[in-house]
Amino acid sequence: MLKRAVFTALALLIAGCSSGSGGTTLTGAGSSFDYPFFSKAFDTYSSQHPDVTVNYQSIGSGGGIQQFIQKTIDFGASDVPMNGDELTRAGQPVIQMPVALGGVVLSYNVNGVPSGLRLDGDAIAGIYLGRIKSWNDPRLKALNPGVNLPNTAIVVVHRSEASGTSYIFTDYLSSVSTEWKTKVGKGKAVSWPASGSVGGKGNEGVAGLIRATPGAIGYVELAYALENNMATAAIKNSSGAWVACSPNTVQAAAASKPNVTNTDFSIVDRPGARSYPISGYSWVMVYTKPADPKRGRMIQNVLQWLDGNQAQQIAASLHYVALPVNVQASAQRALQSMNL
Amino acid sequence: MRRLGARTGSKIVDQIFVAVLLGAAIVFLAIILGLAASLVKGSLPSLRTFGFAFLWTSSWNPVTSIFGALPLIYGTVISSLIATVLAGVFGIFAAVFLSDFAPAFLARPLSFMIELLAAVPSVVFGLWGLFVLAPAMRNTIDPALQRTLGFLPIFSGPSYGVGLLTAGVILALMIIPTVTAISRDVLTTIPADQREASMSLGATKWETMMKVVVPAARAGIFGAIILALGRALGETIATTMVIGNRPEIAVSLFAPSYTLASVIANEFTEATSDIYLSALIELGLLLLIVSVVVNALARILMWSVFRGARSAR
- DSSP class of residue A238? T
**Nearest CA distance, B247 vs chain A (angstrom):** 9
Are A162 and B161 an interchain contact pair (Cβ–Cβ within 8 Å)?
no
Q: Is the Cβ of B94 closer than 8 Å to some Cβ of chain A? A: no
Q: Is the Cβ of B255 closer than 8 Å to some Cβ of chain A? A: yes
Rounded Cα gap, residues B94 and B221, in angstroms: 12
Of A174, A166, A241, residue with least CA distance to A200? A166
Measure CA A225 to chain center: 13
State which amino acid sits at residue A8: T
Q: Which regions of chain A are under pLDDT 50?
A: 1-2, 6-21
Nearest to B63 among A155, A184, A197 (CB): A184
Q: Is residue B34 part of a domain?
A: no
Beta bridge partners of A52: A24
Which residues in chain B have their CB less than 8 angstroms from residue A198's CB? 160, 162, 244-246, 256
- DSSP class of residue A33? S
Query: What angle in degrees, to the nearest 10, is found between the helix axes of B260-267 and B70-96?
Result: 120
CB B76 within 8 A of CB B162: no
- State phi, psi for B107 to the nearest 5 degrees: -60, -45
Q: Is residue B153 part of a domain?
A: yes
Sign of CA dihedral B108, B109, B110, B112: positive
Q: Is residue B16 part of a domain?
A: no
Number of domains in chain B: 1
Of B166, B211, B169, residue with least CA distance to B190? B211
Q: Is residue B159 part of a domain?
A: yes
Give how far Cα A64 sits from Cα of A91, A283, B207, B242, B267, Å: 16, 11, 63, 29, 14
Report, as an integer, the average pLDDT of B144-152. Answer: 91
**Nearest CA distance, A187 vs chain B (angstrom):** 6
Which residues in chain A have their CB less than 8 angstroms from residue B244's CB? 198-199
**Residue B152 belongs to domain spanning:** 71-272+289-312
Q: Is residue B32 part of a domain?
A: no
CATH code where residue B156 lies: 1.10.3720.10
Nearest to A62 among B247, B262, B271 (CB): B271
Q: What is the pLDDT of residues B31-74, one digit of tens each?
A: 989 999 999 999 999 999 999 999 999 999 998 899 999 999 99
- Best B133, B269, B273 residue to mutate vs chain A (most A CBs within 10 Å): B269
**Nearest CA distance, A169 vs chain B (angstrom):** 14
- DSSP class of residue A131? S
Rounded Cα gap, residues A237 and A271, in angstroms: 7
CB A251 within 8 A of CB A322: yes
Which residues in chain A have their CB less than 8 angstroms from residue B125's CB? none
- In this prediction the pTM is 0.85
Q: What is the pLDDT of residues A153-167, one digit of tens each?
A: 999 999 998 888 999
Report, as an integer, the average pLDDT of B136-141. Answer: 92
Rounded Cα gap, residues A104 and A92, in angstroms: 33
Measure CA A115 to chain center: 25
Q: Is the Cβ of B134 closer than 8 Å to some Cβ of chain A? A: yes
At B157 the pLDDT is: 85
Nearest to B266 among A155, A161, A190 (CB): A161
Q: What is the pLDDT of residues B256-270, one digit of tens each?
A: 999 999 999 999 888
- C-alpha dihedral (B176, B181, B182, B183), degrees to nearest 10: 80
Q: What is the ipTM of this complex?
A: 0.80
**Where do the H-state alpha helices sit in chain B?**
2-50, 53-56, 70-96, 104-117, 122-128, 134-136, 142-149, 164-189, 192-200, 205-207, 214-216, 218-234, 237-243, 260-267, 274-312
Q: Is residue B119 part of a domain?
A: yes
Q: Is residue B41 part of a domain?
A: no
CB A107 within 8 A of CB A210: yes
Give how far Cα A276 sits from Cα of A9, A26, A174, A234, Å: 55, 36, 16, 9
At A70 the pLDDT is: 92
Q: Is residue B45 part of a domain?
A: no
